[in-house]
């Protein structure tokens, strides 16, 4: 999908922008759901009781990797649903911490962004300090 090109003096998060990001989020959600379906069918089709322990271990490791990826995608689906809900409530595109515009370019890169770049950087610094 082509990046949104705001016109001069265009109001931030107007209906056209909401529609643009809704399309991106819905396409992303559809793609993730289709991938989950493929994984489910793959696991069902490939689940075999392999006689060789090495083959069985390899298959189990592949399944574990696939399931971890789907778990990350499940969490991403929740973020996508939240972003779609924010669009419906006309709250999308605004930083949840400070209330300023997140920005079109940042939302193009990360449509589920909830924080402006400054607040996100601050949160990451705090997170690193707590980890040490």
Phi, psi of 121 (to 5 degrees): -65, -40
Q: Is residue 13 scored above 70 in pLDDT?
A: yes
Question: Taking Cα atoms as reference points, which of 132, 111, 97 lies closest to residue 13?
Answer: 111
Give CATH superfamily name and number for 13-89: DksA, coiled-coil domain (1.20.120.910)
Share of the chain above pLDDT 70, in %: 95
Q: Is residue 29 scored above 90 in pLDDT?
A: yes
Kindly state the tokens that stand for 53.
């322990």
Phi, psi of 94 (to 5 degrees): -115, 140
Q: Is residue 51 scored above 80 in pLDDT?
A: no
Q: How many beta carbons lie within 10 A of that of residue 100, not counting itself? A: 12
pLDDT in tens, 107-118: 999 999 999 999
- Domain residue spans in the chain? 13-89, 93-132
Which residues, in sequence order, are CB contacts of 102 under 8 Å at separation 6+? 93, 94, 95, 113, 114, 115, 116, 117
pLDDT reported for residue 40: 78
Q: Is residue 34 scored above 70 in pLDDT?
A: yes
Q: How far apart are CA 83 and CA 66, in angstroms?
A: 25
């Amino acid at each position: 999908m082509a990046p949104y090109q705001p016109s001069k003096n265009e109001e931030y998060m107007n209906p056209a922008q909401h529609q643009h990001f809704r399309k991106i989020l819905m396409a992303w959600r559809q793609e993730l759901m289709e991938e989950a379906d493929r994984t489910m069918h793959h696991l069902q089709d490939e689940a075999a009781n392999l006689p060789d322990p090495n083959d069985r271990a390899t298959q189990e490791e592949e399944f574990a990797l696939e399931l971890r990826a789907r778990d990350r995608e499940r969490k991403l689906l929740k973020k996508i649903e939240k972003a779609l809900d924010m669009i419906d409530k006309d709250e999308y595109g605004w930083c949840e911490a400070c209330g300023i515009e997140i920005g079109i370019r940042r939302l193009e890169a990360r449509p589920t962004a909830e924080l402006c770049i400054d607040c996100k950087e601050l949160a990451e610094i705090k997170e690193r300090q707590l980890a040490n």
